[in-house]
Amino acid sequence: MDQEKMIQEIFESEKYKSLPAEVSLPALLKDINALLQYKVDNMESVLLGVVDTDFLDEVRNNLNDLLPLYFGKTIRDLKCIIQDDTFREHELYFRYNGPKKLSVSKISIPYSPLQDQVFSSIKDIIVTFKKHLNTLLNYFYQLDRIDRFCTIMEPKELSFKHDHRRILLDERTWLHIEVTPEGLGTNIHLVGQGKQWNEKLQQGLLAWDHDKDIVDNIMAVFDIMNFPASTLNKIVSITPVVPKKADEPVADIKVCNICLCVELPDMSGIPQPLCQNILCGIYFHRNCLFQWLVASSGGRAPAFGVVTGSCPSCLHSISCSEK
């Protein structure tokens, strides 16, 4: 096989897709070694504009050293795993566009001008982005805590690329907060209707302490520790313990999985198993479920008084009428 065909085989073929693998990895190493050792008089003119040996050397050395380097459809598309100083792993996708021309394709962090730069080597990309990731350590930490302790309504797919979160306060009100690259809370406001929350927010923002975690500030501002667990964590089913007399069986009392009550003082009706998933078995007040689904869909009034969405417990498709 001549050198031009060998280059096309390595850089354009999909034979190395989804590397590393037990079979394809040795084949790739063999082909790269063959190309590097191939001797022709016009080697520079053949390689010019196609590939440089420094890049192939980097690929070979990384694979031989078993570093976390992976390939897409061809060897031009690569992925590496970078660890920051807190041992958090980040996937960095980049592409070989020509000799000493590598560009970043994807990384789950807030936009940075670094993502538009052209890099001369794999090492250059890894060193540059590892340094940048270490400037975002507090940003990662704050988002991790928010996602762990709060019920996140938006974005639907949580990642470090999204620097905002919308946190559930009740079935009608969400808290919108953005996190700066330094890990500070900003653009904090309410989404939805909630007069009591708005009053607390206006007073609490004056006492917001940027030296504390964002989650701790939210709890302090809204006195959130006094709220049901469903506003802080995932919805849980609670069956209260009811005192009983001797030899008297305890009744299996069902509570609403949203308000965690059996009866509401200003509303008639008891919790019912409204989810159509027979494996769910979770009970809701019809009005609580209706308000929950309305808030989850953005607060818009449903057409014909019927709202659809996902069950707060099992995420099965569910619908509920206002009456």
Nearby residues of 112 by Cβ (< 8 Å), 6 or more positions away: 132
The radius of gyration computed from the CA coordinates of the chain, to the nearest angstrom, equals: 28
Residue spans in the chain of domains classed CATH 3.10.110.20: 147-231
**Residue 12 has which token pair?**
């354009």
Give the per-residue pLDDT at 223: 81
Domain 3-134 has CATH 3.30.830.10: no
Domain 235-323: assigned CATH number: 3.30.40.10
Residue 144 confidence (pLDDT) above 70: yes
Domain 147-231: assigned CATH number: 3.10.110.20
Contact by Cβ (8 Å): 288, 235: no
Give the per-residue pLDDT at 5: 65
Residue spans in the chain of domains classed CATH 3.10.110.10: 3-134
Residue spans in the chain of domains classed CATH 3.30.40.10: 235-323
Nearby residues of 253 by Cβ (< 8 Å), 6 or more positions away: 239, 240, 242, 262
pTM above 0.95, yes or no: no
Percent of the chain with pLDDT over 70: 70
Per-residue pLDDT of 156-170, as tens digits, reads 888 999 999 998 888
Percent of the chain with pLDDT over 90: 21
